[in-house]
Amino acid sequence: MTFPVVGMVGGGQLARMTHEAGIPLGIRFRILSDTAQDSAAQVAADVTVGDYRDLDTLRAFAQGCDVITFDHEHVPTEHLRALEADGVAVRPGPDALVHAQDKGVMRAKLAEIGVPCPRNRIVADPADVTRFAAETAGYPLVLKTVRGGYDGKGVWFVRAEADAADAFRAGVPVLAEEKVDFVRELAANVVRSPHGQAVAYPVVESVQVDGVCDTMIAPAPGLSEALSAQAQRLALTVAAELGVVGHLAVELFETADGRILVNELAMRPHNSGHWTMDGAATSQFANHLRAVLDLPLGDPRPRAPWTVMANVLGGDYPDMYAGYLHCMARDPGLKIHMYGKDVKPGRKVGHVTTYGDDLPDVRERARHAADYLRGTIDE
């Protein structure tokens, strides 16, 4: 067979949905998964169970793959450099991916290329946090571990020096940032190929609940054309300057005075782009595969004026399949995507997508389905 083999490190839901996008293209997909029960390991034919932190495991996995890509950013940077030295095509490469792995490196690079960010600095201890507060607008501040944090983990909101102690208990570097007075969170999703072709999806609004993404609205309601274009240009610039290959999600703050600031970067398919599975001509997953294989990128335009994605979070109602009858009968246009995960409170176990011409209607349909599947409503 002449079709390429794509190896994805990580067996979570992002790998599961990327695998799905490769099926109609005939792309052979190989997964390095932590366990045989992981989301993607349940559906892919070629699964290696192993530790992505072990270089020998990575090298063995890469044999026979035409390209290696990722569903998370946690593979040690030095291991990725070793794979590249072995001649493996790693996309995105370690020189790009380190900016999504290390928030200190990311902030320094974005400052160098003139990308607007919250004021920030690496801090050594709680007293240093107070010194940083004096340099900015004072408390409250945001503290983040430079590596490993996600979905609100590794993030602390501190109102005084005494609140900062927990951030330093793990013994890893800590980044202090000013607490931004923002009106909402946005995300700009772009995809870039090795030869420099790039596409930008509509900028979306991200609704967060307790630090976890709850709802995504595409495009962001009420966002001016000027600010939308600025966000897309910013994301495309970051992708080019950092040498990103594949999908890049740029999470943004929209401030009360009409600015946008970069909050986080993710160099992989991202929750803020899940709406594209049903709402765009080409999904983020299909375009990520096209990019890492250096194929022409697909059309990112939306299929309908509005698309809403709502995450399905685990609650106290484990039998979500029982809810399909009601949800599908109530809304034949609803799209349900489940990840094969055990249902645990607060855990992302799936998402639903709706689209149409009327935003309030589209949003209510998505919210109703997500809440019904979770068991928080029963009609």
Q: How far, rounded to the nearest angstrom, does the alpha carbon of residue 363 sit from its chain's CA centroid?
A: 21
Do 126 and 285 touch, CB atoms closer than 8 A? no
Q: Which two tokens stand for residue 361?
A: 């209607």
| 189 phi, psi to nearest 5 deg | -110, 125
Q: Which two tokens stand for residue 58?
A: 């990575």
SS3 180: coil
* CA–CA gap between residue 145 and residue 128 (Å, rounded): 15
- DSSP H helices, the chain, are 13-22, 55-62, 77-85, 94-101, 103-112, 126-135, 225-242, 276-279, 284-292, 324-330, 359-374
Do 44 and 28 touch, CB atoms closer than 8 A? no
Q: Residue 259 corresponds to which amino acid? A: R
Using CB atoms within 10 Å of the CB of residue 155, give its burial: 0 to 12 exposed, 13 to 18 middle, 19+ buried: middle
Give the residues across from 90 on adjacent strands.
68
Q: Catalogue the long-range contacts made by 114-118 (C-beta closer than 8 Å, 24 or more residues apart).
A: 115/234, 115/237, 115/238, 115/262, 116/234, 116/259, 116/260, 116/261, 116/262, 117/261, 117/262, 118/142, 118/177, 118/178, 118/179, 118/180, 118/253, 118/261, 118/263
Using CB atoms within 10 Å of the CB of residue 259, give its burial: 0 to 12 exposed, 13 to 18 middle, 19+ buried: middle
Do 190 and 200 touch, CB atoms closer than 8 A? yes
* CA–CA gap between residue 169 and residue 172 (Å, rounded): 8
User: If you write DSSP's letter for every residue of 220-260 in order, what string do you get?
Assistant: PTT--HHHHHHHHHHHHHHHHHHT--EEEEEEEEEETTS-E
Known binding-site residue numbers for ATP:
103, 144, 177-180, 185, 263-264
User: If you write DSSP's letter for every residue of 310-322 in order, what string do you get?
Assistant: EEEE--S---GGG
